[in-house]
Amino acid sequence: MSAEKIISEWKKKKFKPVYWLEGEEDYYIDRVVDHAEHHILDESQAGFNLTVFYGRDADWASVVNACRRYPMFAEFQVVLLKEAQQMKDIDKLEGYIENPLPSTLFVVAYKGKSYDKRTKLYKLLKSNAEIFSSEKIRDYKLAEWIGELLQAKGFKMNSKAISLVEEHIGNDLSRIANEIDKLALNLKGRKEITEDDIEQYIGISKEYNVFELQAAIAKKDLARAITIIQYFEGNPKAGPIQMVLPALYASFSKVYTVFGMNDRSEAALKPHFYFNAVAVKNALETINNYGYEGIERILLLLHQYNLKGVGIDNAGTSDASLMKEMVVKMIA
C-alpha cells in the first residue's frame, strides 16, 4: 500500500491496528506520520489520545503500555514511535504486535533502512500490520516526480526550470517539496513557476548552474564554461565540486548510451531522455561536437578529476582550478 493509499484510507476512517513504515526515503514516511499526528484526531481528542515516542529515548515497556491503554472520550487513540531505528530492544514489541489492541492506531517510523526480514518481529508484522516500504526515487524518475508534485499542488514549470531544481537539489524529496511550497507562497496567485522565480526565491541561478555548465561543454563554449565555474568559485554553495562532477558524469553517461541506439533522431531520443526537450537538444549537440571518442574522453576526465576533488593525486589545487583545468581538456 502506498503512502497516498494509507492516508486516503485514514480519511475514510479505515484503520488497521499497526502501521510499520520503513525504508531509505524519509519523505513518504514523514507524510504518513504527519497525517497520523495532526489530522486523525481533532484537537480535543488529541489531548487525551495522542502519544508520541522517539526511539532514542523510548523503552519498549512504555510504548507497549501506551498502546494497551484504552481511548478516552474517543473511538480510538494514536501512538507514534518516531525514529524507531534508534530504539533499543525494539524486538520486544513482538508481544504487542502479535496481539494489538483494535482501539489503538500504532504507527512506527523506522527510517533509513528496512528491518531484518528474518526476525520473528518482521514475520509478526507481515501477519498483523500494514508494512510500507519507502524507497529512494531513481534519478531518472526525478523530473517526472517533480512534475507530478507540481500538478498535485496546482502548479507547473517548464522542463528547463524542472532541470534546474533537479540538478541543484538532487533527489532530496522533502527539500524539493519544501522549496516548491516556499515558491507557492510568493507567486501571488500565479500558477506557473518560472526560472526567475527559482532564482529569486530558492537561490538557484538560472544562468550559472550545473545544467548550464553541461550545456556550455556540449557547445564547446569554453569562455561560458569558465565564467560559470568562476561564479561557483565566488558562490561555493552554488556549485561545489562534489555536486558538479557527479551531475556532469550522470548527464554525459546518459548521452554516451545513445551510441547503443540504432535510431539517433530527435524523435527517438525523446523517450530516452524522458521527453525533456532541453536534454535532447543538449544530447544531440554533444554527439555532434564530440562523437563517441570525445564523450568517452569526457567521462574519463570526470572520473580522474573526481578523484582529484577528494584529494587523490592533488597537491592542494582549489576546486575551481581543478574544474577549469578539466573543462579546458574536455573542450580542447
> In the beta sheet, which residues pair with residue 104?
77
Confidence of residue 199 (pLDDT cuts 50, 70, 90): confident
The stretch 193-210 carries a mean pLDDT of 87
Cα 213 to Cα 217: distance, rounded to the nearest angstrom:
6
The stretch 258-264 carries a mean pLDDT of 91
Q: Which domains does the chain have, with CATH numbers?
A: 3-133 (3.40.50.300), 139-201 (1.10.8.60), 210-331 (1.20.272)
pLDDT at 65: 95
**Helix H or strand E segment including 173:** helix 173-186
Query: What are the pLDDT digits (tens) for 66-122?
Result: 999 999 988 899 999 999 999 999 999 999 999 999 999 999 999 999 999 999 999
- Lowest-confidence range among 67-81, 192-206, 240-254? 192-206
Query: What are the pLDDT digits (tens) for 138-193?
Result: 877 888 899 899 998 899 888 888 888 887 887 889 989 998 888 888 888 889 98
Do 171 and 137 contact (CB within 8 A), yes or no?
Answer: yes
Burial class of residue 162 in the structure, from the number of CB atoms within 10 Å of its CB (0-12 exposed, 13-18 middle, 19+ buried):
buried
Tell me the average pLDDT of the chain.
91
Flag whether pLDDT at 44 surpasses 90: no
pLDDT at 255: 93
Flag whether pLDDT at 281 surpasses 80: yes
